[in-house]
């Protein structure tokens, strides 16, 4: 369990340091701000100005292990494979990408689940023209599976895009 916490803290430290470097150097983010988008179904690809594309798979229910972090008994573990295609001219830093999930009509914030390699995100960078993917998992209350909103924010400065749907 300490290994997972160390990994999470290391990723967060790298993300904060990289953001500070971007802001202090006056350089723009690798990904331009996103244009406004509407809700879409699972499996759709969203595009940001500048060439970054993200595809979110159909959600899959799963049972987190006894060693997972972020899962509460009575909730449903749900995971998605998120693929990033880097159509920009600079390396995409996977550690800067954040994923959020809200559920139900009240927009309940769901906790991310870390379970072994699940939840580690896209590590390192994705070269221009290349793709990277990872599975992300969240703890969704069982009574709120009919409306789940997954948001991908590619970096701290860019806008997020949403995929909304039911988890079956």
Other beta carbons within 10 angstroms of residue 5's beta carbon come to 11
Token pair, residue 32, equals 């331009």
pLDDT, one tens digit for every residue, the chain (168 residues): 444 443 444 444 444 444 333 333 333 333 333 333 444 589 999 999 999 999 999 999 999 999 999 999 999 999 999 999 999 999 999 999 999 999 999 999 999 999 998 999 999 999 999 999 999 999 999 999 999 999 999 998 889 999 999 999
User: For residue 108, what are the contacts with CB-CB under 8 A and spacing of at least 6?
Assistant: 102, 141, 144
pLDDT at 21: 37
The predicted model scores a pTM of 0.77
pLDDT at 156: 85
How open is the CA angle 84-90-96, to the nearest 5 degrees?
Answer: 55
pLDDT at 24: 36
Q: Which residues of 44-60 are buried (b: 16+ CB within 10 A; e: fewer)?
A: eebebebbbebbbeebe
Radius of gyration of the chain (CA): 16
């Amino acid at each position: 369990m300490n290994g997972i916490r160390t990994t999470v803290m290391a990723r967060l430290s790298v993300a904060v340091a990289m953001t500070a470097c971007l802001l202090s150097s006056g350089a723009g983010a690798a990904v331009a701000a996103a244009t406004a988008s509407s809700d879409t179904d699972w499996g759709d690809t969203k595009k940001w100005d500048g060439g970054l594309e993200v595809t979110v798979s159909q959600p899959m229910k799963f049972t987190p292990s006894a060693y997972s972090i972020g899962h509460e008994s009575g909730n449903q573990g749900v995971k998605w494979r998120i693929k990033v295609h880097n159509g920009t001219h600079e390396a995409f830093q996977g550690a800067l990408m954040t994923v959020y999930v809200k559920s139900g009509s009240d927009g309940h914030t769901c906790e991310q689940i870390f379970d072994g390699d699940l939840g580690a995100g896209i590590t390192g960078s994705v070269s221009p023209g290349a793709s990277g993917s990872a599975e992300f998992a969240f703890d969704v209350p069982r009574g709120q599976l009919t409306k789940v909103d997954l948001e991908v924010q590619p970096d701290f400065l860019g806008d997020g895009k949403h995929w909304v749907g039911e988890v079956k």
